[in-house]
Amino acid sequence: MLKNVIFDLGNVLVQCHFERFFEHYKISGLDSKLPLVTPIYESFNRGKISRNDFLIKMKHMLDTDDSLEKIAYNWSDIFTLDKEMVKLAESLKKDYDIFIFSNTDEIHFNRIIIDFPELEIFEHNFMLSYEIGELKPNAKAFQLALGKFNLIPAESLFIDDRMENVNGAKIFGMDAIHHLDYGSTKEKINRR
Same domain, 90 and 156: yes
Pairing of strands 97-102, 175-178: unpaired
**3 state SS of 100:** strand
Amino acid at 192: R
Same domain, 41 and 114: no
Same domain, 104 and 64: no
As for how many domains the chain has, the answer is: 2
Same domain, 23 and 11: no
CATH number of the domain that residue 126 is part of: 3.40.50.1000
Q: Is the model's pLDDT at 29 over the cut of 90?
A: no
pLDDT band at 94 (very low <50, low <70, confident <90, very high): very high
Same domain, 184 and 137: yes
Same domain, 43 and 72: yes
Angle between helices 83-92 and 182-190 (to 10 degrees): 20
- What mean pLDDT comes out for the span 86-108? 98
Q: Is the model's pLDDT at 28 over the cut of 80?
A: no
Q: To 5 degrees, how large is the angle CA 180–CA 183–CA 187?
A: 100
Same domain, 85 and 177: yes
Return the closest-CA partner of residue 169 out of 179, 158, 161. 158
d(CA 88, CA 182): 8
Percent over 70 (pLDDT), the chain: 95
Who has greater pLDDT, 45 or 34? 45
Predicted TM-score (pTM) of this structure? 0.94
Q: Which domain holds residue 31?
A: 18-76
pLDDT band at 36 (very low <50, low <70, confident <90, very high): low
Q: To 5 degrees, how large is the angle CA 157–CA 162–CA 164?
A: 85
Do 88 and 13 form a contact (C-beta atoms < 8 A)?
no
Same domain, 84 and 48: no
- What mean pLDDT comes out for the span 47-71? 94
pLDDT band at 39 (very low <50, low <70, confident <90, very high): confident
CATH number of the domain that residue 23 is part of: 1.10.150
